[in-house]
């Protein structure tokens, strides 16, 4: 079965992890810092705060912004649920903006139409690895004096007008789940240029306690103070050794993803009615996913099923968040809120995309898709 996404782990990665297992620090140790430095450099930011997963990264961001009860946070309807959930964790109301039909990234006009006096922040998601229209979003955010946040969980290695994704918003979240560009098993990070926000993020990651165990040990002190309320969102040294080793391969893997995308783009037009998402000229897509739209009138579920029979595990990213039972029940959302997202999601299918795919795999996916669509 060719999966829709898969990690690549080599012997260097294995060695890096084993070395940590033989050493003194399993939880926060030198590899956490090493990994943070490489993520910050790749993302174009001064600080990276590594955490236990991308969801925790988004939660840290909401907390650092001071999002709370009575606030509204605007994000796209098409994303993983965690983008919206992070605002809910802090007692705020997520507001769903519609998406652009060609890229499925948040539509800045829809964002502006949803701004109220309660709006606290705008969150753009670089869906599938394609940067949002950040210039237009920044214009809306500046006009209304709102912070701009990026959920870059799909987009490590992507850039917009030459700026890496982590260098655009006030804070950017990344995920290191195995299907992402690099993996730590589970893991995430927030990047920012802002020293004060970085400090808040570090505190929230570790119980609101200012010094970690290792720092105290190195300084020979047992004293610590809790200066705010925080979670245990730490990532461990074992994971970060894997992450730091994986980061060395990021650039090559993103290039391979782009080559796979180019092959899809040159061969998929042979399937009548099938559409691919558009890449804007000013952006460099990191291709976490490769999303196609099945021809209008074709049953997507049947295509998905036939692909499985042919050995291709496609997937769907995502059902609009406002259509999930939790959001309908808690926030009264439902059909009609984001018409473009609701229309387009019925047609989308994520076909295999990961660096270890061979050109032969890509051609096999295209052939299977042709058969499945019929």
- DSSP classification of residue 321: G
* Among 63, 120, 130, 154, contact with ligand PLP (rule: CB under 6 A): 154
Contact status, residue 160 vs residue 214, Cβ threshold 8 Å: no
Contacts of 303 (CB under 8 A, 6+ apart): 294, 314, 349, 369, 372, 373
Closest contact distance (angstroms) between CB of 173 and ligand PLP is 7
Contact status, residue 311 vs residue 300, Cβ threshold 8 Å: no
Largest CA distance in the chain: 70
Give me the count of residues in the chain.
374
Interaction of residue 246 with ligand PLP, rule CB under 6 A: no
Closest contact distance (angstroms) between CB of 58 and ligand PLP is 6
Interaction of residue 38 with ligand PLP, rule CB under 6 A: no
Interaction of residue 83 with ligand PLP, rule CB under 6 A: yes
Residue 125 or residue 366: which is nearer to ligand PLP going by CB?
A: 125
* Among 177, 200, 293, 322, contact with ligand PLP (rule: CB under 6 A): 177
Write down the residue that tokens 């001064």 correspond to: 46
Contact status, residue 47 vs residue 259, Cβ threshold 8 Å: no
Residue 86 or residue 307: which is nearer to ligand PLP going by CB?
A: 86
Write down the residue that tokens 């499945």 correspond to: 372
Per annotation, catalytic residue among 180, 200, 284, 293: 180
| Whole-number Å distance between alpha carbons of 270 and 361 | 17
* Among 119, 159, 175, 285, contact with ligand PLP (rule: CB under 6 A): 175
207 CB-contact burial (10 Å; exposed 0-12 / middle 13-18 / buried 19+): middle
Total H helices, total E strands in the chain? 14, 13
Region near ligand PLP per CB under 6 A, out of 94-102, 149-157, 198-206, 361-369: 149-157
* Among 55, 159, 192, 285, contact with ligand PLP (rule: CB under 6 A): 55
Interaction of residue 132 with ligand PLP, rule CB under 6 A: no
* Among 7, 31, 38, 79, contact with ligand PLP (rule: CB under 6 A): 79
| Closest CB to ligand PLP: residue number | 54
Q: Angle at CA 361, nearest 5°, toward 299 and 265?
A: 65
Site for ligand PLP in 266-285 (CB under 6 A): none
| Whole-number Å distance between alpha carbons of 265 and 329 | 40
Interaction of residue 151 with ligand PLP, rule CB under 6 A: yes
Question: Catalytic annotation on 200?
Answer: no
Closest contact distance (angstroms) between CB of 343 and ligand PLP is 21
Closest contact distance (angstroms) between CB of 363 and ligand PLP is 27
Contact status, residue 12 vs residue 143, Cβ threshold 8 Å: no
Beta strand pairing status for 93-97 and 72-76?
parallel
Region near ligand PLP per CB under 6 A, out of 27-35, 78-86, 129-137, 321-329: 78-86
Contact status, residue 79 vs residue 92, Cβ threshold 8 Å: no
# chain residues binding ligand PLP, by CB under 6 A: 14
Contact status, residue 24 vs residue 15, Cβ threshold 8 Å: no
Residue 131 or residue 373: which is nearer to ligand PLP going by CB?
A: 131
Region near ligand PLP per CB under 6 A, out of 80-88, 255-263, 307-315, 354-362: 80-88
Contacts of 84 (CB under 8 A, 6+ apart): 73, 75, 94, 96, 321, 327
Residue 153 or residue 291: which is nearer to ligand PLP going by CB?
A: 153
- Residues lying near ligand PLP in the complex (CB under 6 A) are found at 53-55, 79-80, 82-83, 125, 151, 153-154, 175, 177, 188
The residues annotated as belonging to the active site are: 180
């Amino acid at each position: 079965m060719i999966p829709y996404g898969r990690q690549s782990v080599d012997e260097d990665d294995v060695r890096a992890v084993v070395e940590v297992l033989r050493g003194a620090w399993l939880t926060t140790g030198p590899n956490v810092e090493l990994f943070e430095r490489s993520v910050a450099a790749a993302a174009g930011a001064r600080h990276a705060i590594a955490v236990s997963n991308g969801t925790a990264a988004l939660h840290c961001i909401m907390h650092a912004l001071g999002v709370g009860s009575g606030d509204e946070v605007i994000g796209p309807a098409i994303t993983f649920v965690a983008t919206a959930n992070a605002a809910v964790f802090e007692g705020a109301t997520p507001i769903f903006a519609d998406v652009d039909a060609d890229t499925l990234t948040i539509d800045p006009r829809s964002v502006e139409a949803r701004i109220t006096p309660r709006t606290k922040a705008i969150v753009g998601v670089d869906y599938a690895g394609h940067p949002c229209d950040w210039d237009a979003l920044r214009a809306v955010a500046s006009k209304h004096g709102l912070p701009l946040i990026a959920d870059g969980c799909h987009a490590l290695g992507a850039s917009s007008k030459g700026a890496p994704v982590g260098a655009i918003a006030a804070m950017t979240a990344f995920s290191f789940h195995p299907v992402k560009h690099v993996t730590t098993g589970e893991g995430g990070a927030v990047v920012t240029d802002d020293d004060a926000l970085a400090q808040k993020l570090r505190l929230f990651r570790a119980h609101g306690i200012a010094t970690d165990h290792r720092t105290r040990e190195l300084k020979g002190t047992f004293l610590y103070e809790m200066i705010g309320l925080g979670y245990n969102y730490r990532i461990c040294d074992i994971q970060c050794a894997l992450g730091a080793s994986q980061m060395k391969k990021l650039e090559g893997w993103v290039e391979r993803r782009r080559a796979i995308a180019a092959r899809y783009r040159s061969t998929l037009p042979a399937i009548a009615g099938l559409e691919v998402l558009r890449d804007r000229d000013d952006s460099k897509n990191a291709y976490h996913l490769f999303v196609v739209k099945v021809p209008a009138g074709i049953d997507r579920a049947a295509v998905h099923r036939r692909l499985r029979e042919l050995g291709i595990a496609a997937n769907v990213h995502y059902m609009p968040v406002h259509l999930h039972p939790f959001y309908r029940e808690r926030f009264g959302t439902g059909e009609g809120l984001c018409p473009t997202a609701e229309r387009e999601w019925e047609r989308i299918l994520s076909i295999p995309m990961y660096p270890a795919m061979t050109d032969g795999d890509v051609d096999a996916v295209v052939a299977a898709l042709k058969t499945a669509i019929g």
